């Protein structure tokens, strides 16, 4: 059902609840009327929350998290819940910092990043192991949504294979990837699996974190070592610019892909296809222990 239908239905329920509440206040000794007022008020609140979740889902602001397993029978220990959800929330915030500024946070994510994401525990479905989390998908001054960029890259990493894994890790940053690994360890320790779903601007994204899938992603994350980083200047002709934060530069050595942070989107937008560009980038050299080769990833620092 659409949020418009639900919103109208919520208004109707609230109107009935207000009317019954008014009658109940005038008849304090009528037990059945008091009970009806209480039940109608609860139904109106429930529908109002359902409307809020439906609107958040339509705006790409709702993340549906389901914890699954023998211990996830509608109630799990608070410590187990915090050990799983806590690192996941940290991973999102650190990834958002990396995406906005092009570098890992020195400590925690910047206050403006946390404020822009505005993550909230929006509700629990029947049983405390089905959690709804909302955020803020509104675009910033660059026209990009930090929340959507963060979730896009998170789902990309979770569903990545070996060939694109290092690019996915480089997008969210090493600190975010580490916290994602802690999240996986928390799931293992609690004996839980997990399912994520999110209605993005490009369609429904999901990740089914069954035990074998958790093991696969953990194994990939465990191969990641701190990359060697250095600054270099690259020159060439602009071959392409995408709205996913990628710039392609054609150099004498071949085409090079460079990721740019959201904060300098305006600088990148001034570049023109086929025009000459001189870019200062931070290059990260990863060692792929599976393929036994170096993997180079570049982040744009500035356009000269």
Q: Are residues 271 and 144 in the same domain?
A: no
Contacts of 190 (CB under 8 A, 6+ apart): 69, 71, 76, 80, 83, 84
Q: Domain of 239?
A: 228-303
From 222, 242, 276, the end of a domain falls on: 222
Task: In whole angstroms, give the CA distance from residue 147 to residue 138.
Answer: 8
What is the SS3 assignment for 293?
strand
Q: Which pLDDT tens digit goes with each residue over 105-160?
A: 988 899 999 999 999 887 766 655 788 899 998 887 667 789 999 999 999 999 99
Please list the alpha-helical segments (H only) found in 128-173. Answer: 146-158, 162-172
Beta-ladder partners of 65: 131, 196
Q: Residue 256 forms beta bridges with which residues?
A: 249
Identify the H or E element spanning 121: strand 120-124
> Are 139 and 172 found together in one domain?
yes
Residues 12 and 132 in one domain: no
Model confidence pLDDT, tens digit, residues 285-299: 988 887 888 889 999
In this predicted structure, the answer to whether residue 208 has a pLDDT above a threshold of 90 is yes
Instruction: State the total domains in the chain.
Output: 3
Instruction: Tell me which DSSP letter residue 298 carries.
Output: E
Domain C-terminal end among 43, 58, 73: 58
Q: Do 42 and 9 fall into the same domain?
A: yes
Please give the angle made by the CA atoms of 157, 161 and 167, to the nearest 5 degrees: 50
pLDDT at residue 152 in the model: 92
Task: Judge whether 251 and 293 are in contact, CB under 8 Å.
Answer: no
The partner residues of 123 in beta bridges, in order of sequence, read 132
69 and 122 belong to one structural domain = yes
Mean of pLDDT values over 70-93: 76
CATH number at residue 262: 2.40.50.140
Whether pLDDT at 63 is above 80: yes
* Residue 236 pLDDT level (bands cut at 50, 70, 90): very high
Q: Which of 58, 88, 104 is the last residue of a domain?
A: 58
Q: What is the pTM of this model?
A: 0.80
């Amino acid at each position: 059902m659409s949020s418009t239908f639900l919103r109208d239905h919520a208004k109707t329920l609230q109107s009935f609840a207000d009317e019954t509440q008014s009658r109940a206040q005038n008849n304090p000794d009528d037990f059945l009327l008091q009970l009806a007022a209480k039940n109608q008020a609860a139904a109106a609140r429930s529908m109002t929350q359902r409307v809020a979740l439906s609107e958040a889902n339509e705006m790409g602001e709702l993340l549906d998290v389901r914890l699954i397993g023998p211990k996830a029978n509608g109630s799990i220990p608070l410590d187990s819940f915090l050990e799983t959800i806590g690192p996941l929330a940290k991973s999102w915030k650190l990834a958002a910092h990396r995406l906005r500024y092009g570098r890992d946070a020195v400590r925690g994510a910047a206050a403006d990043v946390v404020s822009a994401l505005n993550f909230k525990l929006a509700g629990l479905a029947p049983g405390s192991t089905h959690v709804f989390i909302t955020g803020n998908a509104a675009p910033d001054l660059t026209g990009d949504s930090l929340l959507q960029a963060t979730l896009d890259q998170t789902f990309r990493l979770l569903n990545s294979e070996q060939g694109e894994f290092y690019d996915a890790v480089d997008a969210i940053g090493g600190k975010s990837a580490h916290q994602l690994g802690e999240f996986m360890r928390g799931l293992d320790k609690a004996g839980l699996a997990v399912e994520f779903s999110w209605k993005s601007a490009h369609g429904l994204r999901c990740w089914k974190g069954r035990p074998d899938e958790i093991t696969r992603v953990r194994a990939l994350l465990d191969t990641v070592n701190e990359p060697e980083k250095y600054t270099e200047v690259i020159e060439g002709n602009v071959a392409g610019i995408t709205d996913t934060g990628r710039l392609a530069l054609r150099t004498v050595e071949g085409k090079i892909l460079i990721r740019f942070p959201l904060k300098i989107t305006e600088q990148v937008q001034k570049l023109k296809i086929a025009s000459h560009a001189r870019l200062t980038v931070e290059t990260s050299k990863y060692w792929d222990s599976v393929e036994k080769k170096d993997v180079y990833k570049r982040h744009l620092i500035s356009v000269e």
